[in-house]
Amino acid sequence: MRTPQYPAPMNHTLARAVSLSGHPMVVLPSAAMALTAARGQYRIALWMGLGFTAFAAAVMAYSNWQVRRGRWSHVDASGKSERRSLNRFLFAALLAAAACAAWSGFSAELTLGLCLSAAMVATAMLTSRWCKLSLHMAFAVFAALLLMGASLWVGVAALCFAGAVAWSRLVLRRHVPRDLVAGTVAGAFAGIVFALAAVAGAG
């Protein structure tokens, strides 16, 4: 019996839904806002939400602009040159956002989170010769470790969701296992650095 060349339609639809839900522009802002709200800082969480929405709008505007120019075939930026261009933009935008957060004195944790996010994107660019590091996985794991600060069980649930994101990326043929492992390591490292910085700050 021949193995189907493409995933079953139901699996593909589910995988796409999970992949969209696990997009870096969704999981990390959601985790940061949830962590802030869990501390009772609802006003800060609201401002963070507005800031993340503006950031996502800027990324989408850049992606659409590249498509209209004919540089990209799709806003997903699946091609190697497209992905490289998007990562450069993300890196610069995240550093700019971190600088703004630091200058405003809004939140030291937000500044650190943005810097670590930029570091993950930089890692993806630096390792592109050897693998296509999954930023979906990096941000999903980072977000899950952030949520551990709010609730152990919420963090565990988020890690399970990160596993579902890994499955979706394989089903959609966007990554191979090596890419997902690289993304997991990058996200875990960022989460550990954030947790250690939080402990040092509390001390």
Angstrom distances, CA of residue 71 to CA of 64, 66, 80, 122 = 10, 5, 12, 22
CA 55 to chain CA centroid, nearest Å: 13
Q: How confident is the model at residue 199, as a pLDDT?
A: 77
Q: Are 186 and 136 in contact (CB under 8 A)?
A: no
Tens-binned pLDDT, residue by residue, of the chain (203 aa):
444 555 566 688 999 999 989 999 999 999 999 999 988 989 989 999 999 999 999 999 999 999 999 989 887 777 888 889 999 999 999 999 999 999 988 788 999 999 999 999 999 999 999 999 999 999 999 999 999 988 899 999 999 999 999 999 999 999 999 999 999 999 999 999 999 998 786 66
Question: In whole angstroms, how far apart are CA 33 and each of 36, 42, 72, 83, 94?
Answer: 5, 9, 32, 27, 17
Instruction: Output the CA torsion 146→199→53→12 (10° steps).
Output: -20
Model-level pTM?
0.90
Q: What is the pLDDT of residue 164?
A: 97
Contact partners, residue 26, CB within 8 Å, separation at least 6: 20
pLDDT at residue 169, rounded to an integer:
94
37's enclosing H/E stretch is helix 24-38
Predicted pLDDT of residue 7: 52
